[in-house]
Amino acid sequence: MKMYIGGQWVDRDEKVPVVNPYSGSQVDTVPRGSAADVDAAVTSAVAGAAVMAEVPAYQRYTILKKAADLLAERTQEFARTITMEEGKTLAEATAEVGRAVQTMTLSAEESKRLHGETVPLDAAPGIGAHLLGFTVRVPCGVVAAISPFNFPLNLVCHKVGPGLAAGNAVIIKPASDTPLSALKLTEVLLEAGLPPLAIQCVTGPGGAIGDALCTDPRVRKITFTGSRDVGEHICHTAGLKKVTMELGANCPMIVMPDADVEKVAQATVSGGFSNAGQVCISTQRVLVGSQVYGDYLDALKPQVEGLRTGDGLAEGVQMGPMIRESDAARVDQWVREAVDTGARLVTGGDRSGTMYAPTVVADVRPEMRISCDELFGPAVAVTRFDTIEDAIALANDSVYGLSAALYTQNLDWAMKFVRQVHSGNLMINSSPQFRVDLMPYGGLKDSGMGKEGPGYAIHEMTELKMVAFH
Ligand code: NAD
């Protein structure tokens, strides 16, 4: 496909191949964008922002709603594209398209709800008595939307939807491995009637074009989803801009002794292995009370071994490949390292190219990399604890804080967990991997800052002006 800059689909001689992670075959190519392309995109976006600032809320609503409807009509086509470029199963990809339709619909609705508020200046002592105060929300202007590979459509919608709903122009920088869904979304937005300069989609390697985009002073807002280290780099280089950072995690799930271990095992399979564990809120660290430790592992092993792995396009496959062979090799190395230093391989631990077998490692200690770093792969690390205090200390023993979960029927334990665990999302009786697109979603600590979910993100895509009538 071509990239979209300045109201034109443009190509370049230098290409980046888009590869099917399962078969290794080339799906397509995209142009290798340069700093000059970023400069052209920002120049067009500045003009696009001026156009968008004049587009009334109702028209922004109709454009985004139409885009949601078009996405829904093309579910199968989009799902196939996601599977081909990302590797997840067709069922997972279809679910992602369904969520993207929701995200765009919610964004459409939010365009009609953006407003300021009155400010009671007469409540200030002395000088406020006859003043009228209110706030006005205005778009930031040019928004850079930088997205990761693992949800190549819905996570782009979480940026583009609220960005346009708020009246900005948006420049998409999709992940280098998975640019096709974002380019197709650009087509859909244009077909839905978006002013051409309001959207740009620049493809190419993150380092070169990402830095050019993030350092450009005409970009007023950066919304980034990706790894902790790239997020931190952007925070250093961006200068004085608004930023939203949706970063990584090593999510804990605490299993108290009163939990139903069969149910928890099922939740571990869906929360730990969907999209081959490449989900920011994947269940990574399972912390299990000593009393049910053995029973939990006995319940988990056959369920993990029953997962059908393979080509995401094939019927009945439940887990696809990892995005790159180097990532599968990294997961393999971290699992081996854990086992070599005293952990126990319960099942899995095999690799073939990008396919890494669903893996369970028990007796994991917190300092092992499989526990303390973000694994982002199809393995769970199981650790034993004795008391709720120990479990909460283990859950908090991380630089991250994106999602955490607790299984129990005991309200006191649940309240303690809610009060004491430092995490942006807290799940009771579910795995950490729960998200619906309307909820405020974002991490604490090194998992980032700011919230997504269109009703929340739209505020982050605006500036607040204060008006006082004297
Ligand atoms: P990544 O950090 O490697 O890349 C993310 C994006 O940043 C890509 O588009 C990449 O091209 C771009 N990029 C790279 N260098 C850049 C630079 N110098 N300047 C600007 N942009 C640059 O992440 P990934 O491997 O694509 O995705 C996996 C990571 O994303 C994991 O850490 C995962 O936890 C995280 N993630 C977080 C959330 C969340 O909502 N918190 C959701 C999904 C994924």
Report the chain's C-alpha Rg in angstroms: 23
Percentage, residues of the chain above pLDDT 70: 100
Which tens digit of pLDDT belongs to each residue from 94-111? 999 999 999 999 999 999
Of 221, 213, 218, which is closest to residue 173 (Cα–Cα)? Answer: 213
Residues 10/2, Cβ–Cβ less than 8 Å: yes
Which tens digit of pLDDT belongs to each residue from 328-343? 999 999 999 999 999 9
Beta partners for 319?
A: 309
Summarize the confidence of residues 151-168 as an average pLDDT: 99
From the CA of 231, how far away is ligand 1's center (Å)?
7
For residues 315 and 300, give the distance between their C-alpha atoms in angstroms, rounded to a whole number. Answer: 24
For 362, list phi and psi in degrees, rounded to 5.
Answer: -105, 170
Which tens digit of pLDDT belongs to each residue from 214-258? 999 999 999 999 999 999 999 999 999 999 999 999 999 999 999
pLDDT at 441: 98
For residues 80 and 270, give the distance between their C-alpha atoms in angstroms, rounded to a whole number. Answer: 21
Residue 128: pLDDT above 90?
Answer: no
Instruction: Determine the distance from the C-alpha atom of residue 109 to the mean position of all C-alpha atoms in its chain, rounded to a whole number.
Output: 21
User: Rounded to whole angstroms, what are the CA distances from 21 to 176, 217, 230, 400?
Assistant: 13, 36, 23, 28
Percentage, residues of the chain above pLDDT 90: 99
From the CA of 296, how far away is ligand 1's center (Å)?
33
From the CA of 341, how far away is ligand 1's center (Å)?
30
Known catalytic residue at 280 = yes
Q: How far apart are the first and last CA of the chain?
A: 56
Set 110, 246, 452, 460: catalytic member: 246
Mean pLDDT of the chain: 98
Indicate the pLDDT class of residue 56, thresholds 50, 70 and 90. very high
Which tens digit of pLDDT belongs to each residue from 5-28? 999 999 999 999 999 999 999 999
Summarize the confidence of residues 393-404 as an average pLDDT: 98
Q: CATH assignment of 3-247+447-469? A: 3.40.605.10
Residue 159: pLDDT above 90?
Answer: yes
Q: Which of 149, 183, 203, 324 to mutate to test the pocket of ligand 1 (most atoms within 8 A of CB)?
A: 149
Residues 87/317, Cβ–Cβ less than 8 Å: no
Instruction: Determine the distance from the C-alpha atom of residue 469 to the mean position of all C-alpha atoms in its chain, rounded to a whole number.
Output: 42
Element housing 460 (H / E): helix 454-460
Helices (H), 113-179: 154-165
Taking the CA of residue 448 as reference, the ligand 1 atom at the shortest distance is 41
Summarize the confidence of residues 266-272 as an average pLDDT: 98
Tell me the three state secondary structure of residue 438: coil
Which tens digit of pLDDT belongs to each residue from 69-100? 999 999 999 999 999 999 999 999 999 999 99
| Ligand 1 pocket list (CB less than 6 A) | 146-150, 155, 173, 175-176, 206-207, 210-211, 214, 225-227, 230, 233-234, 246-249, 280, 374, 376, 402, 443, 448
Instruction: Determine the distance from the C-alpha atom of residue 231 to the mean position of all C-alpha atoms in its chain, rounded to a whole number.
Output: 13
- 49-52's contacts with Cβ under 8 Å and 24+ in sequence apart are 49/139, 49/141, 49/142, 49/168, 49/169, 49/198, 51/169, 51/195, 51/197, 51/198, 52/139, 52/164, 52/167, 52/168, 52/169, 52/195, 52/198
135-169 burial, b if ≥16 CB within 10 A, otherwise e? eebebbbbbbbbbbbbbbbbbbbbbbbbbbbbbbb
CATH of region 252-437, choose from 1.10.287.110, 3.40.309.10, 3.40.50.720, 1.20.120.850: 3.40.309.10
β 400-401/132-139 pair status: unpaired
Which tens digit of pLDDT belongs to each residue from 288-326? 999 999 999 999 999 999 999 999 999 999 999 999 999
Known catalytic residue at 246 = yes
DSSP 235-291: HHHH-S-EEEEE-----EEEE-TTS-HHHHHHHHHHHHHGGGG-STT---EEEEEGG
Beta partners for 344?
A: 362
For residues 148 and 224, give the distance between their C-alpha atoms in angstroms, rounded to a whole number. Answer: 8
**Domain edges within the chain:** 3-247+447-469, 252-437
Which tens digit of pLDDT belongs to each residue from 378-397? 999 999 999 999 999 999 99
Taking the CA of residue 233 as reference, the ligand 1 atom at the shortest distance is 18
Q: Is the pTM of this model over 0.95?
A: yes
Of 458, 459, 447, 464, which is closest to residue 158 (Cα–Cα)? Answer: 458
C-alpha atoms less than 13 angstroms from C-alpha of 170 in its C-beta half-sphere: 29
From the CA of 287, how far away is ligand 1's center (Å)?
27
